[in-house]
Chain A
């Protein structure tokens, strides 16, 4: 039932993207997000779309599988498209019905915004699809380390994130199991009005909370039993190392920034 969600699911592999340093990937995504919003005409958007397609090819993951990550957000995209089509005014009037008008600027903005959102989602799911949660949080911890000096609990944040990421699949599996168990007892989650449906979630929510608390407690015990006492003095088994791949990513980043800057109006 819940096995079709692609977002956040790491697919192991040996591609260029899989082997690049998570820090470069994280930094690149920040830059990419900025560039997506800097782009403001057909040329820049085409370049960004082309670049995203190229990156997807580079990841050697199936294209349709990556597209599935858009599934949870298509509603959001549709919503913004509709808002823009009806609300943004300017340019030629394409269609008029009473006080409703659809104008050139609205359509233009709607297309651009949906492209931007789509690209952002695709790109960030590429990150989680090609980076194991462990690498991702370590990359984040290293990047945020300077903030530790001004009292930000960087290690704790990174640990919380890795635990959260680690338990997403576990809790999904658990939810799936509980849904099945209650369905076998005749619970029906698909019919009835909204109040009834919300009420029907209780047999899932309560067991799920209880198991989450139990897991948390067990995890805390297991960590303490193995000598965990926070990030101080903790060493790493695999140290992150920048390689030629990261140099390549930096060069591409600089080139892409330059191109977008050049073509934007």
Chain B
């Protein structure tokens, strides 16, 4: 589903002494099927932005179009359309409540009036995507699982609704490196297989670089950059003034390039670790010409 924001602003606590402008004239277009990385410091408006996507917050002014649904300050999203936009919040394991893992994952599908046997099939599928075995997990209490497993169950709870747009707010915060990778790889896989439009909010430039094909950089409630990752990473100076940094691969490339003659320099499009390694290996194993 294509997502467009047209001059969207949002103000918290309107009419109180705590009034605060959290989003300011955001305009953007996300093509259907894109994997979008949203980066920015804490308090830059990332979370506020994504809560607009399924109508949890309505804009104070402006217009949002998601597929054929239009959201404006006066027009809310219909309940039935919410299932199209799967929203995984920060620390999603804090929303677990059922007695068993299976019941918790089925909560979403059942809310959208799916018959129980279909909901169960969805739960099985969703748990498999996040790398958990349905048979061994289904009857366990979600509160007896490890932190990483709880996180996966919670994400499965959103995936089970089979959304067309998947929005994840720092899904890997507080996990160990192996857990991070497993979760992100799983998400990336279903993104490709089910042709989802995925929005990933992250603090980590490395994560954004690895998966995103479109990046949004937020600062102070405004959208300061949008574009392909290599375009964004080229503006290293601007990123630094926003207290952000380029991924390690990009700074590695630019440091190597400093000591290489211009025509031999490494292309900056190699910001994905594997591609960079492959390129370097190829260069190093190639026979020297002179």
What is A's interface to B at a CB cutoff of 8 Å?
3-4, 6, 11, 61-62, 64-65, 68, 174, 177-178, 180-188, 202-203, 206-207, 210-211
Contact = CB atoms under 8 A, between A and B. Distances in A.
Nearest to B90: A177
A82 to B, nearest CB: 30
B108 interface: yes
B17 A180 contact: no
B97 interface: yes
Most buried by A among B85, B89, B94, B96: B94
Contacts of B79: 186, 188
Interface residues of B, number: 29
B221 to A, nearest CB: 17
A177 B89 contact: yes
Q: Is the interface of B mostly helix, strand, loop or mixed?
A: mixed
Most buried by A among B56, B92, B112: B56
Contacts of A62: 17
A65 B83 contact: no
Interface in B45-94: 51, 54, 56, 79, 82-83, 85-87, 89, 92, 94
Contacts of B158: 184-185
Contacts of B86: 184
Contacts of B97: 202-203, 206-207
B94 A207 contact: yes
Given A184-B89, A185-B161, A186-B83, A11 B94 contact: no
Contact of A6 (B16, B108, B111, B112): B16
Contacts of B161: 185-186
B94 A211 contact: yes
A207 B94 CA distance: 6
A3 B12 contact: yes
Most buried by A among B13, B16, B79, B107: B16
Nearest to A188: B79
Given A185-B111, A186-B112, A186-B161, A3 B13 contact: yes
Contact of A210 (B15, B107, B143): B143
Contacts of A211: 94
B95 interface: yes
Given A62-B17, A180-B89, A186-B83, 17 more contacts: A3-B16, A3-B18, A61-B17, A65-B15, A181-B92, A181-B95, A182-B95, A184-B54, A184-B56, A184-B86, A184-B87, A184-B158, A185-B107, A185-B161, A186-B108, A186-B111, A206-B97
